[in-house]
Chains A and B, each alone.
Chain A
Amino acid sequence: MKTILQAEDLEKIYHVGSVDVPALRGVSLDVAEGEFLAIMGPSGCGKSTLLHLLGGLLTPTRGRIVIDGEDLTAASDAKRTDMRRRKIGFVFQRFNLFPTLTAEGNLRLAERIHAGNSGSGDAERRREVLRLLQIESKMHHKPSELSGGEQQRVALARAVVTRPALVLADEPTGNLDSENSAIVLNMFQEMNYRFNQTIIMITHNPEAAAMCRRIVQMRDGQIVAPGGGIQL
């Protein structure tokens, strides 16, 4: 199976005043295409830092990240932005939808940015995603008119509508009640199953992690299980 993500010996040190704070201490991780991977660990263990590095939002102090054959760490800021545009979709704990746009507007904006500010996107793909996520009827609603679960489904739709190589989800159920969490996690599974979408999800929730095909445990800036994780 094709490896979609290779992270080698990642280190990240934050400089806080004159103090160096290591957040990651040599993390290596391979993710195959179509994997649904959970990263778990206590607060402050470096999960979010790892996710931000994998998404090109941060640069590592040391190490290398290759996504779908392209070296993210060797790229300039503009190139990393471009790789994010072409290859990565994000889902955040706080949904992070544009409040002035409708659900459909949020999707179209993502498509527009993905297409390099031109074109109107793939309408068929959009309809398919919306149907699978059961939010077709909410397309003309603004985020403030949607429940938390619906907002997160829109965020997921936005992340996958452009067919990214990798979806990075940062505590996607952290702001949802258990019922909506279950719905959203099912949707993640559905996206992974139907579209063979590679997903890396950070979570504190063992039940959420249990829905993934693989779980990686982190502690103190390191992956604790040798070989990069626990195969379930």
Chain B
Amino acid sequence: MESLVTNNIRQRPLRALVSMAGVALGVCLVMLFTGLARGQAHDLQRRSSNLRAEILFTRPGALGLTSSTANLSTKYVAELLKIDGVVQAVPAIRYVFQGNKGFGFEQVEGVDWQPYAEMNGLRIIEGRAPQANDEIVMDETKVRESQRTVGDTMGLFGGQPYKIVGVYAPEAEARVKMSLAAMQDALEAPSKCSYILVKVRDGEDPLAMAQRINTALPGNTIQLTRDVMTNIEKQIPFLGVFLRSLVVLAAIVSAFVVMLAMYTTITERTREIGMLKALGASRGYIVSVIEKEALVISVLGLAAGFVISFGAGFLIHRAAGLSFEYSWTWGLAAVLIGIGGGTVGALYPAMRAANLDPVNALSYE
């Protein structure tokens, strides 16, 4: 049977498309931003979890998600090794820079490869470890995403060419690593590092060891590696607030676009509303016709939003290496935004239509 709802949508494809785009935009906002936040956070967490050192020793403010400094003397390595229970201490510099694709941040670490790899169970799976000051190694993901191979070069520190001499696995912290000496040289920070990874003796309680280190070397920052990246989402200030604000914004955008589109269509169809009233259609019936139309548009916009989100996430991952990880919770939020925004947005135009004066509506030009 012919449906007034579907026929109206088919009759005005451009308006329907604009409405669907509004809903899809809201869905995309939610899915892409939350997917990116989760994907990047989990990517960092995964890489961090591969560290086998239990303690991270650093100076206050030396390590941030988007910046780092080499303000810790490597002399602390010897001091740490003197503490009972510390079996290994490996210094490292983390250098954070803006990605050369124009957005996002990338990290490079300078480490003494042999002790760092031994401590954390890393192995070279292709090529060899970095030795000279212009040599780097990468993990498999970085090699794949940057479409480089051993022997290629990569520009760092203002475009200086660094030769890729090896590929390592598993992934751990920064995807690109060079020797500590090379990094110190590049940053003109001799005898300095950003942090020192501390491996404690088997059976020692890491928390007790951290307290012992703090007592021996006060004024520094001592963190358990298991806590450092356990919840990046909580570490980024106001990320949760931002994401929730985004959801509200997306809902408002969807609702407003649908409301404007439905308001326009109600104005266009004023005489048809009058005809419905002349036929004896109740207010509830008129509201239901308009709400059903908004619902169909919302569901189609929702589907389009999901398809666009997944497609865009895939393309951005391919182009920029950013990770997207979608969650059912946020997916459900997107569904509620799409359906809720659309139907709530249509409510005012629907009520307005239901309350039109039939005689005026029938004489509307």
Contact = CB atoms under 8 A, between A and B. Distances in A.
Contacts of A83: 280
A52 B359 contact: yes
A108 B277 contact: no
A85 interface: yes
B279 A120 contact: no
Contacts of B358: 57
Interface of B: 1-2, 4, 7-8, 10-11, 271-272, 274-283, 285, 288, 358-359, 362
B359 A96 contact: no
Contacts of B285: 113, 117
Contact of A101 (B7, B281, B288): B7
A211 to B, nearest CB: 24
A88 B277 CA distance: 12
Main secondary structure of the interface of B (DSSP, over half): helix
Contacts of B4: 98, 100-101, 105, 109
8 contacts: A78-B282, A81-B277, A81-B280, A84-B279, A96-B362, A101-B2, A101-B7, A113-B276
B359 A58 contact: yes
A102 interface: yes
Contacts of B275: 96-98
A113 B7 contact: no
Given A109-B4, A117-B285, A120-B1, A99 B11 contact: yes
Contacts of B283: 78, 81
B7 A105 contact: yes
A100 B7 contact: yes
Contact of B278 (A90, A100, A105, A117): A90
Contacts of B10: 100
Contacts of A100: 4, 7-8, 10-11
A47 interface: no
A105 B271 CA distance: 17
Interface in A70-86: 78, 81-86
A78 B355 CA distance: 11
